[in-house]
Amino acid sequence: MPMIQTINLTKRYGEFVALNNLNLNLNEGDCFGFIGPNGAGKTTTIKILATLLKPSSGQAMIDGLTIGYQNRQIRPIIGYVPDFMGAYDDVTVIEYLEFFASAYGIHGDQRKRVVSDVLDLTDLTYKGDAEVNSLSRGMQQRLSVARVLLHDPKVLLLDEPASGLDPRARIEMRELLKELKRMGKTILISSHILHELAELCNTVGIIERGELLFQGTVSDILRRARMGRVVHLAVSQRTDAAAELLRQSPGVMKVAIVEGDSSSNGDPAIQREIHLSFDESGPADVTDIPNRLVNGGFRMLKFVEEPVNLETAFMRLTKGLVQ
């Protein structure tokens, strides 16, 4: 049984559809990266899974328990980290954690031990007596993670945990999440920092306008995006004629001439480039393209296939649409 599952999950606000028949399946121990444009439905999904929103229709389940009917049983096994934390004024880090530990029914020596353990795990022990509002953005985010670890939940729901962090704080957050992954937690994380998701997550999902476009492993999404591959090339002269020749090549979807492209690395011999896009039926091997140009009397100056990473895959598989 999946640890997190949604079946035709839908959320409407009047005529506005925030989620449209969303189907997710996350197994125990998965680290799932949830990516999509702003307004795509990521936060809505996470809030439903956190039992903070009621779905309009469909089902959402965590560890076999149904959200909306078994919320009291679900809440002890989840930890929800919003993109911004809130805290009372004049509260120290230890007081903040002890308050939430008490709310989870953790008391006495056990509470002191648990607070000490999560401070150590999140590398905040030395900030125990500091006021929460005095902490940097990165430290507050780590404290927010420490808070949800107090009751040792099976599932972590993280909404943009690296949002607004500087590079060092992002690295520290990433290392913390790697440690939680090693501990066997099931993690659902939304983020705009896609290269870090590729390093951290074993599965990803792309959502746009409330609809799930893709769910699978990072290698699967890169393979799918590579089917619409792009090649950057340049010839010594007659660029327009070369572009016209390439338009007749099998599988070519688009041929664009780019003036003074920065990818030329300032090479004065390359004034104009041809960007060649293939559709999904395009050739698995694009090395025939230089042969076509050479046989047509052109001299090649550059031939580079555009690399595919999670960011380029995201751009190729989405249209940039928001609600």
The domains found in the chain, sorted by start residue, are 4-85+141-224 (3.40.50.300), 230-307 (3.30.70)
Per-residue pLDDT tens for 1-50? 899 999 999 999 999 999 999 999 999 999 999 988 888 899 999 999 99
Q: What is the 8-class DSSP label of residue 306?
A: P
pLDDT at 222: 67
| Contacting residues for 191 by C-beta, under 8 A, at least 6 apart | 33, 34, 35, 160, 161, 162, 163, 197
Angle (CA) 249 255 258, round 5°? 145
Does residue 71 carry a pLDDT above 90? yes
Does residue 283 carry a pLDDT above 60? no
Q: For the chain, give the percent of residues with pLDDT over 90.
A: 52
How would you label 149-186 residue by residue, b for 16+ Cβ within 10 Å and e otherwise? Answer: bbbbbbbbbbbbbbbebeeebbebbbebbeebbeeebb
How would you label 276-309 residue by residue, b for 16+ Cβ within 10 Å and e otherwise? Answer: bbbeeebeeebeebeeebeeeebeebbbeeeebe
In this structure, the chain runs to a length of: 323
Q: For helices 108-121 and 93-103, what crossing angle results, to 10°?
A: 120
- In which element (H, E) is residue 234 found? strand 230-235
Terminal alpha carbon distance of the chain: 32
Confidence at 165, pLDDT banded by 50, 70, 90 = confident
- DSSP letters, 20-69, are EEEEEEE-TT-EEEEE--TTSSHHHHHHHHTTSS--SEEEEEETTEETTT
| Contacting residues for 211 by C-beta, under 8 A, at least 6 apart | 20, 21, 22
The Cα–Cα gap between 194 and 213 comes to 16
Task: For CA atoms 158, 162, 163, 164, give the dihedral sign.
Answer: positive
Cα–chain center distance at 81: 15
Per-residue pLDDT tens for 117-154? 999 999 999 999 999 999 998 899 899 999 999 999 99
Task: For CA atoms 252, 253, 259, 261, give the dihedral sign.
Answer: negative
Q: What is the 8-class DSSP label of residue 123?
A: T
pLDDT at 225: 61
